[in-house]
A = this chain, B = another copy of it.
Amino acid sequence: MLNTFAAKFERLFDLTALESDGIRAIQIRPIYFTANQDLVREGDRATRCVIVLSGLACTSKVDETGKRQIAAFHISGDMPDLMGLHLEILDSDIRTVSECTVAFIDNSIIRKLCNHNPRLAAALWRETLIDASIFREWVNVGRRPALNRLAHLLCEVMRRMDAIGMADGLVCSFDLTQTDLSEATGLSVVHVNRQLQELRRRELITFVNGQLTVHNWAGLVGLAGFDEDYLHLAEAQHNQIN
């Protein structure tokens, strides 16, 4: 899986061009983290950015009542705090959800590359725009009933995993607890549990041991009201092909 990742970023960062900028090939050194570790904390000054190599990470925030709220999940190849390139202060935490390997790249390097290479800049900009699009969708989905909301989240994960080649048919890894799901959907753990049972009862999915299986994709999509346009998958692909 490091391979598919590397393929994306070698193209993205156009490693041959880097030499002419006097920057050696960017070192992507994988660093291992256990589950539930902070990678970035709200309020941190952005000096480098995270690349998720494997595992599941998330963007979250702790509200004044002490409850954690997950605003996004990040899978292999995602750069969750790319925003730090142009915003000094980060306004959310980035944490691992499952075990993860990640890499860090200094923002100064990326910024330098972007200045000399508008195509790279555009590609990274596009990544942040897709993130924004997903947030926007979550705003809307957050207003739908619990069952639909949950279904939508599962659709999104499955579709994104598939897009990076990490779904095997309609089976993929989604290694988190029901508590994590409750923080991502804004539902209580108890309610998540019951709604998951309902999804299973309808024979739409099974979800055990961090493995998600969709038995009826059309049914799940219909229930969720899932329209994948907001993921801009075709355009994200540009970043890999260009």
- A residues touching B (Cβ–Cβ < 8 Å)? 43, 59, 61, 63-64, 69, 71-72, 83, 85-89, 91-92, 114-115, 118, 121-122, 125-126, 128-133, 135-140, 142-144, 186, 225, 229-230, 232, 235
3 A-B pairs closest in CB distance: A143-B186, A132-B132, A135-B135
- For this chain, the copies found in one complex come to 2
Q: Are A136 and B64 in contact (CB under 8 A)?
A: no
Q: Are B132 and A83 in contact (CB under 8 A)?
A: yes
A57 to chain B, nearest CB (A): 15
Nearest neighbor of A64 in chain B, beta-carbon distance: B225
Residues of B within 8 A of A69 (CB): 139-140, 143
Q: Do A91 and B230 contact each other (CB < 8 Å), given the known contacts A86-B122, A121-B118? A: yes
List 30 A–B pairs whose Cβ atoms lie within 8 Å, in order of A's numbering.
Answer: A43-B229, A61-B140, A63-B140, A69-B143, A71-B136, A71-B140, A72-B136, A83-B133, A85-B125, A86-B122, A86-B125, A86-B126, A86-B129, A87-B126, A87-B232, A89-B229, A91-B136, A91-B137, A114-B118, A114-B121, A115-B118, A118-B121, A121-B125, A125-B128, A132-B135, A135-B136, A139-B139, A139-B142, A142-B143, A142-B186
